[in-house]
Structure 1
Amino acid sequence: MRIESKTVRLRLVEPDDASFILSLRLDPKYNRFLSEVTNDVDAQRRWIERYKQDERDRTQFYFIIERLDDGSRCGTVRLYDFRQDSFCWGSWILLEENKTKTAALESTLMVYDVGFDELGFAKSHFDVRKGNEKVVKYHERMGAVRVSEDDENFYFEITKDAVDQVRVDFEKVIHKEPRKG
């Protein structure tokens, strides 16, 4: 599964991506709101190899975000926790120094393309750590609704209809050529 937008693509993670993923997850700029990992590339590689079975079973998908212009890796994102009508997404990290100007919006909408269009879900659920105000505001601007919270997280849902409205609003930003009809 590979999907492209205007400046970035999502491609399924491979074991050779282990050191890249680990470098993101260990970087203090990006890991403040992530679960901890150990500094062990072999353990990360083994995790990816086990995950590949989940991918074959269609129970989760882990993507590398790549720039279209030079093919360099600029982030990660994962879809998981598939329920009857909803999917969760997370592990979303974008390299500030290598992402494109619109990589956040494009990768978000491609996640929803996979979840809604490829997998057939009606909505998405996800959590954002409290204190991660930039990401909270981003998701609320996208149309996500805060449905609950606990001591550590805010919990959100977003529907396909809300995302479809965002697509209309940002049509020129996210597509190589404007869609017709």
Structure 2
Amino acid sequence: MKLEYKTIHLRLVEPNDADFILKLRLDNRYNQFLSSVSPSVDAQKKWIENYKQDERIGKEFYFIIERLDGVPCGTVRIYDLREDSFCWGSWILNEDKTRYAALESAFLVYQFAFDILGFKKSHFDVRKGNQKVVAFHTKMGAIQVDEDDDNYYFEITEDAVNNTKVNLNLV
């Protein structure tokens, strides 16, 4: 499965992506707001192999973000699938990303979840202090619905995402 926009595409992760994912997750430029992981490539491969079982039953989806020339530049996951809502995260983009990779990858996540999986909204959390991501989601139309000591909790609807596309002349 491949989802494509103007400068990037998403493809489902495979065990041979373990080294790339581990480098992203261990890089201090990108991991400030992520949970820690084992520094073992073998452990990462095993995690991916276990995840692939959840993918097969439609429980969660983990994507590699690639430029159209095939250079990997990030990751994103869809998980915590509920009746009408899904969560997404593990969103990392490295220095190889395209100028619009953040916006395009978000739209591709929403396209997959709304159009293919049939959800109507998304719920997600953003760590406090991660102001760039908070601002990004707010500009996309997300509404903060709660917070705790560590996180802000958001929801965004399919209509809000579609309105953002219209406002950006991307329809």
Q: TM-score, normalised by structure 2?
A: 0.98
Partners in 1 of 2:167 and 2:106 — Cα distance?
A: 14
Deviation at 1:167, TM superposition (A): 1.3
> Match for residue 132 of structure 2?
134
Structure 2 residue ranges without an equivalent (≥5): none
CA distance in 2, matches of 1:50, 1:2: 21
What letter matches 1:133 in structure 2? Q
Provide the C-alpha distance between the structure 2 equivalents of 1:168 and 1:11, rounded to a whole number of angstroms: 26
Alpha-carbon shift at residue 170 of structure 1 (Å): 2.5
**What residue in structure 2 maps to residue 86 of structure 1?**
85
Cα RMSD (Å) = 0.8
- Residue of structure 2 equivalent to 1:170: 168
Post-superposition CA distance 1:99-156 (Å, at most 9, x none): 0000000000000001111000110000000000111011000000000001110000
Question: 1:166 deviation in Å?
Answer: 1.1
Moved over 4 A (4+): none
Alpha-carbon displacement from aligned partner over 1:28-65 (angstroms, at most 9, x marks no partner):
00000000111000000000000001111001000000
**1:149 counterpart residue number:** 147
Residue identity opposite 2:130 in structure 1: N
Matching of residues 65-84 of structure 1 within 5 Å = 65-68=65-68, 70-84=69-83
Residue in structure 2 matched with residue 53 of structure 1 by the alignment: 53
Which secondary structure does the structure 2 equivalent of 1:6 belong to? coil
In the aligned structure 1, how far is the partner of 2:165 from the partner of 2:131? 23
Question: For 2:149, what is the secondary structure of its paired residue?
Answer: coil
Equivalent position of 1:32 in the other structure: 32
Q: Percent identity?
A: 65
Amino acid at match of 1:49: E
Q: Classify the secondary structure of the residue corresponding to 2:103.
A: helix
SS of equivalent to 2:123: strand
- TM-superposed CA distance for 1:168, in Å, is 1.2
Structure 1: where are the runs of 5+ without partners?
173-178
State the number of aligned residues. Answer: 171
